[in-house]
Structure 1
């Protein structure tokens, strides 16, 4: 065996061993961050180090600080694990070392993105002519979608924002629910619009945007081009905005609809939950993560746009719709990155592994397990405060201080991991069920641990 094959084999063997250990290892344990940093520190050697030794040193330094977030009992931050075929494809992508700028720099990478993008649009119910940019996460996807929106609403009033910038431009209205995700505000900052531009719309009881209030804001606000940010999957409750009615309302006022669907857009992939995102096809742009509910490796997300010309004009180098083969914008023309890693290979492999039925089953199973969590914790005497419509469960343990103590105890215990959040002025435990390997036994074991720790 040559040295490269041995080195890559050692890395793959260790990675596989780590993944095999996930069902049994503590999910999260207290870490001495200073000691961990010290293990990685020290002077940079003057002389080269043999690659196998480098790999061994990396494993030894990192092991105490690894979190089992890819495992079946990690319920924090709306993350999933990475599917076997997708992980293996990502290993190949690293070995192939392609830079997926366009079909010249890596024809295979762009072809994989094109095929996977078509499958994604089919699964999610996004119109097939829409463009699909492969980005790092929903922060990037929201930024791309809102950049396309900024381009189009200003072009509609005769302003070329890519050439002239925002100084002197007609003012843009940005309307969003008061329970929008923080990435929307950050995208607005990055795009030069600023977070203060947002006209917030109240939310209903479970966190979805209130349509009557949206209608009032649209009717009573200042004239001018409008971008309205809707949500599929409130990060706390899982609630989805009523997309059909909202899109129709916004379009009556000539506005652009952007849907932040980081995880909730996957409701469209299952017949059992598709009604929650009815009308999503009417939007103008969509953001969605792959490394959340689809269980792809980090980092993987998608920016879709119903108007490919606006998408490419906002993101390409010349803002003049640089086109790839066949007149379709591809690769770096649809993202803010030029030297891009070939993340489309893992997306293609993950979708092939699951198939249409597998994606639907994954969504259904996670929703059922979230309901199991809610029922079990309610039976144990704790308060589930949200309507569990998807995979998010909010739990209260009495007053805020006690809830924070329970969350901290659960995280230190290592049986499972759940985060804390603030919703409607209350501190709550947030449980997100997004991992393809989570079982009923994992949920029951986690309920037992939470109950034990909450009653100490």
Structure 2
């Protein structure tokens, strides 16, 4: 046990040293991918290797290829950092090595998810009676929500999709905005509905769904099974659909409303931004990430459903050997994985560290820093292409080719990291401010680097 303690402490100390260095590290650096792969490669040794040597070799091989995405100047892909208490809880979760299938395999893991789930619903304004599945990311959360939707709209039509499948089932109409996230389409493929089921709805100038277009699409279709996908937080602009009006409109047509709120649903946690997601409680299912704006370690996300029985009917299964199944839906009943890591410990710890006021402050601060980015880059003579409503900023540097050159130069420089995107037919720099550790100084330092490199 002494050797194990030394090994675990060495790993934790290295992780802590790495995290402490993030504020001054180059965020992204050019990597020789071939050399990096070679460092991990070679024949599998026939003899055992001491764990201490394995750990040292892993660190040596990985270090040149690590991206400081947990640091305060990483602004790509809506990536947050990882809160100290949540990270420490994740280290414990790895050490405890719990199987979070149900309350038999790990009573503690299921209890942590139950408590954290209640806190999440309170923060986001989701009905307290809703179920919560702890999943890997927005892809898994959207898939679970749309599986519940598929179950219910077909059950309403007299079809048991879990027993009979989709062959011969009433066709399902999926209504979604033109600027929906790509995970919606992949979920539809995985669920056997296919992307041809999508009836697209046009978007307003800032990327939110156009209500008149939604009304027209609803009227144009049949009265058959209908699922409507709304969005809280456009992936490029941060714009949120008008959820109250849209939900009420869908209700009149008897459809199921699923909200993809991967990062934008966190607007509900702050009084300053809550109006942007007004009416979210009227939906039937919701998807939300924890490893984005809540700053939890990867991987962490949540699938909420207003109908726990429907959620479980769509996702759970039973087996003679599966002791502990068949009770109140929990754990693996609400996800697509049975062998699940106990990610609820980190969720509980992160929420406990921040508290409700801390979550609100985190959301508000990131929005303020996004506006600081927009103001600073506009003053430097660059075009801010979107209305900055949350934590997303789109910036143009002239023509598409120049914008791509600036993005590439910023990524190679290492001061900060932003990605590129295509929005409304134009190439733009996409800045996502999601890290709890980001400061005004980090933003100003990044603006100075962008200005220098663009010049």
Q: TM-score, normalised by structure 2?
A: 0.98
Question: What is the distance in 1 between the residues matched to 2:428 and 2:149?
Answer: 35
Q: Contact 1:323/1:330 (CA < 8 Å) preserved in 2? A: no
Question: What is the distance in 1 between the residues matched to 2:316 and 2:188?
Answer: 19
Aligned to 1:286: 286
Q: 1:111 to 1:326 in 2, by over 3 A?
A: farther
Q: Contact 1:324/1:330 (CA < 8 Å) preserved in 2? A: no
Aligned to 2:125: 125
Question: What is the distance in 2 between the residues matched to 1:170 and 1:223?
Answer: 11
Equivalent positions of 1:38-117 (< 5 A) are 38-117=38-117
Q: Residue deviations 1:337-383, cap 9 Å, x none?
A: 00000000000000000000000000000000000000000000000
Equivalent positions of 1:120-269 (< 5 A) are 120-269=120-269
Q: 1:323 to 1:186 in 2, by over 3 A?
A: farther
Q: Contact 1:178/1:202 (CA < 8 Å) preserved in 2? A: yes
Aligned to 1:301: 301
Aligned to 2:374: 374
- The 3-state SS of whatever aligns with 1:59 is helix
Equivalent positions of 1:342-421 (< 5 A) are 342-421=342-421
Per the TM alignment, residue 195 of structure 1 is displaced from its structure 2 partner at its CA by 1.0
Per the TM alignment, residue 223 of structure 1 is displaced from its structure 2 partner at its CA by 3.0
Q: Give 5+ residue unaligned stretches, structure 2.
A: none
Q: Contact 2:86/2:350 (CA < 8 Å) preserved in 1? A: yes
Q: Contact 2:68/2:74 (CA < 8 Å) preserved in 1? A: yes
Q: Contact 2:104/2:324 (CA < 8 Å) preserved in 1? A: no
Q: TM-score, normalised by structure 1?
A: 0.98
Equivalent positions of 1:31-42 (< 5 A) are 31-42=31-42
Question: What is the distance in 1 between the residues matched to 2:191 and 2:446?
Answer: 42
Q: 1:324 to 1:199 in 2, by over 3 A?
A: farther
- The 3-state SS of whatever aligns with 2:341 is coil
Q: Contact 2:104/2:323 (CA < 8 Å) preserved in 1? A: no
Q: 1:324 to 1:358 in 2, by over 3 A?
A: farther
Q: Which contiguous aligned blocks of 4+ residues in structure 1 show a shift greater than 3 angstroms?
A: 322-327
Q: Residue deviations 1:411-441, cap 9 Å, x none?
A: 0000000000000000000000000000000
Q: CA RMSD in A?
A: 1.3
Question: What is the distance in 2 between the residues matched to 1:316 and 1:329?
Answer: 8
Q: Residue deviations 1:147-186, cap 9 Å, x none?
A: 0000000000110000000000000000000000000000
Question: What is the distance in 2 between the residues matched to 1:323 and 1:261?
Answer: 34
Per the TM alignment, residue 326 of structure 1 is displaced from its structure 2 partner at its CA by 10
Per the TM alignment, residue 318 of structure 1 is displaced from its structure 2 partner at its CA by 4.7
- The 3-state SS of whatever aligns with 2:34 is helix
Per the TM alignment, residue 97 of structure 1 is displaced from its structure 2 partner at its CA by 0.3
Question: What is the distance in 1 between the residues matched to 2:304 and 2:129?
Answer: 10
Per the TM alignment, residue 221 of structure 1 is displaced from its structure 2 partner at its CA by 1.4
Per the TM alignment, residue 196 of structure 1 is displaced from its structure 2 partner at its CA by 1.4
Q: Residue deviations 1:282-332, cap 9 Å, x none?
A: 00000000000000000000000000111000001159xx99799530000
Question: What is the distance in 2 between the residues matched to 1:335 and 1:326?
Answer: 15
